[in-house]
Structure formats: structure tokens, C-alpha cells
A and B are shown apart, each in its own frame.
Chain A
Amino acid sequence: MEALLTPAFGTVVWSTIAFLVVLFLLRKMAWGPILQALKEREESIANALNEADKARSEMAELHASNDKLLQEARAERDSMLRDAREIADKMVADAKSKAKEEASREADTARQAIAVERKAAVAELKAEVAKLSVSIAEQLIRTELASPDKQEALVAKLIDESPLN
């Protein structure tokens, strides 16, 4: 039992030397590089994760901006279509109203021309009728008053008819 509990001189000497040498060697050869490698790997993993996160958020941002762009484009297209339709409608309406106006103006001038023509025609007709009736009356009178009897009969008749009272 005594042997177990008494520190032995040689053991203390050897274990001190061995422990210090091994501590020095391991520190130089093993612990330093191992801890360094572990730290580097942890850092690189953390970096990679960070970068992945960043890329993901960038991706999301890009996606959002894409969507926005698309929406804007769609809105612009819609507005352009609407404008075009409006312009077209307006053009059609304008053309229609212009045409109508033109047509009515044409019709007016036509009507006026017709009226002038008619007037002229009526005037001519009247003149013609007057000429004709004069000629007819001339003819008639000529025939009616060809004999002196007849001239007397007529005078008589006219005298009869006239209210000489």
C-alpha cells in the first residue's frame, strides 16, 4: 500500500519531462494546425451560409423587381391600348361628324340649286303659259270675232251682263 501512495522520484522526473515534451510537440504539430483548421472550416461554412442567404434575398429582390417591371409594362400596355382606342374612336367620330356635315352641306347646296332651278323653271313656265294663253286668246278671239254678227252678239251679251242699272 505504501508503494501506491508514495510519489516515486524517477516517475515524477520522467513524467514531467515526457509531459512537457509531448505538450510542446503536440502544440506545435497537432493542436495548433487542428484548431486553426477547425476555425477556418467553421468560418468558411458560416461565410458560405451567409452568402447563400444573401444570394437568396438578392434573388427574391430580383424576382420582386421583375414582377414590378412586368406589372409596369402591363399597365403601360393597357394604357397605350386605351389611348389608341380612344384616339381611334375619336377619329371615327370626327370622320363621321365631318361626313355628316359635308353631306348636309351638299344637300343644302343641292336643295338651293334645286330651288333656284325650280324658280327659274316656274318663271319660264309662267312666261311660256302666258305666251301660250295670249296666243290661245288671240286665236280664240280671232275665231270668235271673225264675223260682225258675232261681234254684235258679244257686245250685246256683255252689255246684258254688265249691271248698268
Chain B
Amino acid sequence: MKQRLSLLILVVFAAVCTPVLSSDSHDEHEGQHDAHGEFNASDFIIHHIADAHEIHLWGEGASAVHIPLPVILFSKEHGFDAFMSSAFEGHGEVRLAKRSSEVTYALSHGHISVQGEHAGHDHSDHAGHDHSDHAHIDLYDLSITKSIFGMLMMMVLMLVLFGSMAKSYARSAGQAPKGLANALEPMVLFLRDEVAIPNIGEKKADKFLPFLMTVFFFIFFANLLGLIPFIGGFNITGTLSITMVMAAMVFLITAFNGNKHYWGHLFWPPGVPLFVMPIIIPIEIVGMFLKPIVLMIRLTANISAGHIIILSFVSLILIFGQGGDAMAAGFGIGIFSTAFMIFMYCLELLVAFLQAFVFTLLAAIYFGEATHEAHH
């Protein structure tokens, strides 16, 4: 009975949402409509997945509602410049922010370049790289983008959560945990007893646990933040730059903590015939770099893929809803898509934990390999 009721609610919700979403796309999704005025799903998805200089809440084009974020730019020619992203005017492909008589910045597909006096320059054909005919200016974009903003939010959350957890332990030393500490303790214990100690060993685990726990909770919280709808679609752990930094840290920690045994195995694997060495040694060395790279790609790809799938089903509704004659199909697809999206959301909740766990577990395994003592 309960199940049937929830199914009914789902169907009604989907049916109500479909025309709303589709009319939305019909009238206002100017940004995601291609030259023929049709809805472009891939632009729509990439726009939501990619990092941005503002948090897009709802609406498109002129009626879009954004939370502006600080833009910080540095170039040798113009020095530091900081302003809010709301300074970028307009809502087309290229948006301009006029800072002074000689400097105007252009924001195109999340990329900022110096426009100089050639304000009218057409940027539509080079979205990423700015190699215009006038003097090239190297611009370093240090803006607090959407992903960085989300990352900082999650880090503040972590500091608050775990800071108060530590305080509650100090308050009630030796007693059973209560409230927040009780909720977080199983995860901390899981990381210590199931991830760190079995892979690194009891003695050395303490050294790596702070890093492992920070990484785990950051990825887990960031993944969960990405699943909250209506707050701008954060895709923190799907941002390659951020996972790259974490993977690089794993690599550096592994390299700096590698003992004689680890390097020995890497550069002269024992028990391998001499003629195989020229093959094995390059593979081992490539593997050393490949491990963190795979770590980075796995996390980014998994989280982005989850978002892409969910957005694809949103796009399906929009595509079928835009033609007036295909309204019936739009309703049908709306119901189907919404049901599938709910399923995907549940799956993504699992993936949010799983990817955090996998990243941490593999990092722990690499640390364990690096610090493993010879016993033969």
C-alpha cells in the first residue's frame, strides 16, 4: 500500500514537472539552444558539470539567478585584480567585465582572458585558449570558483564537525560517545581498523591516518554535496584539478616514505630473470606514476559520470518536452526519467561512499607497500 502510494506520488510529480521543465526550456534556455534554436543536451550537461565562476541557481539567459563568486586574476602586465563575478555583464557566450580604461576581461565557457582594447573581438571560435592576434597576455586565474567554493565549504564543515567531535571526547573522556561523535565514530573506526591497520600495519598506521581520514571525509562530503539539488550542482570531486592535487599528495607521501625495500623492489625486483629486467623495470616505474593517475581519473570519472547520467535523464525530459506535438511522449518520458533518476540518486549515494572508500583504501595500500618491511 505504502509502495503504491509513493509510486502514485512519483507519477503525479513527474507529470506535473514535465511541462514546467519543458516550457522552461522552450522559453528561456537560450544558452543551451544551438543555432537552430533547439535544446542542446551536451552543452546543458557540460555547463552543469564544469567548474564555473559563479553558482548558477536557476533560470537561463537574462532571468538566470546566480550567486557571484570572487574572481582573482594575476598577470604580469596588470598585476593582481579582484572583483565579484557579477561584474561580468551580459548573458551570452562571451561576457565582459570592464575594470579600467585599458583592461577588460572576457569570460567565455568558464575561461577568463584579457580583452585589452580589442573589446569587440570575437571569441566564439576559441573557447579554451586565447591566442588572438594582439599581444598575448598570460593570465593566471586564481578565482574562487564554484568547485573551490564548495571545497572550502566542505573543509569548514569538516573542521566544525571533527573539531566538535574531538571536544566532545575531551568533555566526556572514557565514556560512550554521544550524538555527533557517536555518528562519526564508526566511520573513523572503520578507517582505522579496516583500511589503515590491515594495509599499513598497526605501528605505522598512526602516521598516515590523519591524511587518510582527511581525504576520505573530504571526498565523501564533497560527493554528497554534489548530490544536493537546487544549490548549483557542485561537482567538486569530479573536478580534475582537485582530484589531481589529492592524487599528487598520495604520490608524494608514497615516494617520501618509501623504504629501501620498496625502492629495491621497484628498481631491481627480486626473483626476476635478468633478461626480463629491461621489461619489468620500466613497467614498475611507469606503474609508480600510473597508480596515482588512475586514482585521480577513477574518482573524477565516477563522480562526473553519475552527474552526467542524472543530467541526461533531465535532458531527455527537456528534449521530448520542447515539441508541442510530442507532449504525450514528454509525459511518458518524464515519468520514466524521474523514476530512473531516483534510482540513480540512490546509486550515487552508494558511489559517494564507495569512491571515497576506494580512494582511501588504495592510498592506504600504496602507503603500506612503501613502508612494508622485508621479511624474506
Which residues of A are at the interface with B, using a C-beta cutoff of 8 A? Answer: 1-16, 18-19, 22-23, 25-27, 29-35, 37-38, 40-41, 44
Contact = CB atoms under 8 A, between A and B. Distances in A.
B111 to A, nearest CB: 7
B240 A34 contact: no
Nearest to B242: A15
Contacts of A10: 72, 140-143, 145, 148
A37 B304 CA distance: 38
B244 interface: yes
A22 B166 contact: no
Interface residues of B, number: 53
B189 A4 contact: no
Interface hub of A10, A23, A41 (most chain B Cβ within 10 A): A10
B141 A4 contact: no
Contacts of B141: 8-10
Given A11-B239, A19-B249, A44-B174, A31 B162 contact: yes
Interface in B110-137: 110-111, 127-128
Contact of B210 (A2, A7, A19, A31): A31
Given A9-B140, A14-B142, A37-B169, A23 B210 contact: yes
A30 B162 contact: yes
Contact of A26 (B109, B145, B214, B246): B214
Nearest to A37: B169
Contacts of A4: 46, 49-50, 238, 240, 304
A18 B151 contact: yes
B159 A11 contact: no
Contact of B174 (A3, A27, A41): A41
A26 B111 CA distance: 33
B162 A34 contact: yes
A11 B145 contact: yes
A2 B142 contact: no
B362 interface: no
Nearest to B205: A35
Which 7 A-B pairs give the minimum distances between C-beta atoms?
A: A30-B162, A11-B241, A37-B169, A33-B166, A27-B210, A31-B210, A10-B142
Given A10-B72, A14-B148, 19 more contacts: A2-B127, A3-B46, A3-B110, A4-B49, A9-B142, A11-B239, A14-B142, A18-B148, A19-B218, A22-B158, A22-B218, A23-B211, A26-B162, A27-B214, A30-B159, A38-B169, A38-B188, A38-B192, A40-B173
A30 B173 CA distance: 15
A33 B169 contact: yes
B206 A35 contact: yes
Interface in B160-197: 162-163, 165-166, 169-170, 173-175, 185, 188-189, 192
B159 A25 contact: yes
Contact of A6 (B166, B169, B240): B240
A143 B260 CA distance: 169
B46 A35 contact: no
A18 B147 contact: no
A15 B151 contact: yes
14 contacts: A6-B240, A7-B244, A9-B142, A10-B140, A10-B148, A29-B163, A30-B165, A30-B166, A31-B214, A34-B188, A35-B188, A37-B166, A38-B192, A41-B174
Contacts of B241: 7-8, 11-12, 15
A6 B173 CA distance: 48
Given A9-B141, A11-B239, A26-B214, A34 B169 contact: yes
A8 B242 CA distance: 9
Nearest to B166: A33
B155 interface: yes
Contact of A18 (B109, B152, B211): B152
B189 to A, nearest CB: 7
A30 B163 contact: yes
Contacts of B144: 14
A8 B51 CA distance: 9
Nearest to B111: A3
